[in-house]
Structure 1
Amino acid sequence: MDSQAQTLARGLKILDLLADAGRPLTIAEIAAGLEVHRSIAYRLVRTLETAALVLRDSSGRYLPGPHLATLARSVAPDLQSAAPAVLQSLADELSMTAFLVVLDRTECVTLVTVEPRHVIASIAQRPGSRHSIFVGAPGVAIQSLLTSSERTSMGIAEPEQPEVAIARRDGFALSHGEVIPGVSAVAAPVRGAVRAAVAVLYITAEEGEVVNAVRAAASLLDRSNR
């Protein structure tokens, strides 16, 4: 790897470290995560800070910067624009938290989340949260969108799991306690340019009603994901 490519790779790794940490990091922690000297980490962070991709708090620690939000808005803009209204309707209909996840390499990342109105308590799902596509209904739903060649290029082992084929056939996936203990999920794939899925979280529910509502919401978003 040439020096410019290495610098870029390290800069991107810093953004991943900050996003995954969920809290501000010191230069020492960033350097440790990169496995480089603190002086190298500092130079990289200063470049990112100049571009507003990284911010420094009052204690001198670093966290993701505001320009990342600007970049995030350009990810599937039509889908992001359509999702809140569709998810709000779904959340209110089922009295459940509804959210949209997209594929990021081999992880599901929550892009938009909506909690039901007029409900005292619901299960939280924070935007930006992520989990492997190999666990949970959203992961199975998104896997059902992948072709064999896409799985190979992503390094995903063949053959695919039986639940993926079932989700492709039925248009939805179910999971129970795989991501959050005691919590079930229903997810339906959103077809189009961006690999995505609509999902809801619940403790107990009539699954048939939930499945139909989630599939209908995903179908509405299919039209925005072009």
Structure 2
Amino acid sequence: MSLSSGSPAPHSQTLSRGIRMLEILADSEEPLTIAALSGHLGVHRSIAYRILRTLEDHGLVTRDAAGAVQLGPRMAALARGVSRDLQTAALPELTLAANELGMTAFVTVLDGNEVVTLVSVEPRHAHATVAQRPGTRHPLAVGAPGIAIQSGLGAAQWAELGHDEARRSEAGGVRNVGFARSHNEVISGLSSIAVPLMISGRAPAALAVVYISSAHAPAFIGARLAAAAEVIAAELR
């Protein structure tokens, strides 16, 4: 029996589960057992183990002496290829901003209805910094990077996202003050400031910092990020 020309191609359930396993490991703060992975996936341990072995063969996951699973070094190599030119253009500016402000600086991009960290840099000489791992994601509706990205979306782009809720009211203010702020939204106790990074033909993005406390005024931080965003955008035009 053949599929009609109008029927969509069937999805690969195994591939979908493998990708989901990688997402689960990326979101975990510590290595996971096969039992935990099978529970997250909702499949029998034997199925989870077969998926794991395939990912392991490709270097995408590794297991420690106790058998716990974590992402492998091959994942880092793959990640470097994602928006490579944006990462290359952003890295020098992120490094300068991180060291001048004494806080972790990073670029996020819009992925569906979520904001994903693409690349981040921690300051060299700060006493305490906040780690912002590439691949970290959170809903578009929360956090300064999400607000900054919302501020740059046109009505048609917003409609395409299919959000049930309205756009954050703070997004409109970004056009006036130049930056977005948040506190206690994504991670309790942390503050973030972000500016839009909108480049024609690319996914909407934001340049941001995250910190516990700072002697710098928010307007100063916002202006520093805006200057960095201009340099990054100019490099990619």
Interval of TM-score (by shorter of Structure 1 and Structure 2): 0.7 to 0.9
Indicate if the aligned counterparts of 2:141 and 2:168 stay in contact, CA closer than 8 A: no
Does residue 219 (structure 1) correspond to residue 226 (structure 2)? The answer is: no
Residue 53 of structure 2 aligns with which residue?
46
Equivalences for residues 105-184 of structure 1 within 5 A: 105-157=112-164, 159-168=166-175, 170-184=177-191
Match of 1:206 among 193, 198, 217: 217
SS in 1 for 2:171: helix
CA distance in 2, matches of 1:124, 1:181: 14
CA distance in 1, matches of 2:130, 2:34: 35
Greater Cα offset, 78-87 or 173-182 = 173-182
SS in 2 for 1:197: strand
Match of 2:205 among 196, 199, 203: 196
- Over residues 38-61 of structure 1, what are the superposed CA-to-partner deviations in whole Å (9 max), with x where a residue is unaligned? 111111122222222222222222
Indicate if the aligned counterparts of 2:150 and 2:168 stay in contact, CA closer than 8 A: no
Q: Once the 2 structures are TM-superposed, how far is the Cα of residue 169 of structure 1 from its aligned partner?
A: 5.2
Instruction: Tell me the TM-score normalized by structure 1.
Output: 0.87
How much is the aligned-residue C-alpha RMSD, in angstroms? 2.4
Residue 78 of structure 1 aligns with which residue?
85
Instruction: Tell me the TM-score normalized by structure 2.
Output: 0.83
CA distance in 1, matches of 2:131, 2:18: 31
Q: Once the 2 structures are TM-superposed, how far is the Cα of residue 2 of structure 1 from its aligned partner?
A: 7.9
Structure 1 unmatched ranges of 5 or more: none
SS in 2 for 1:223: helix
Residue type of the alignment partner of 1:96? M
- Over residues 67-97 of structure 1, what are the superposed CA-to-partner deviations in whole Å (9 max), with x where a residue is unaligned? 2212211111111112221012112332333
Greater Cα offset, 2-11 or 216-225 = 2-11
Give me the identity figure in percent.
48
Equivalences for residues 62-77 of structure 1 within 5 A: 62-77=69-84
Q: 1:55 to 1:153 in 2, by over 3 A?
A: farther
Paired positions, count? 226
Q: 1:25 to 1:144 in 2, by over 3 A?
A: same
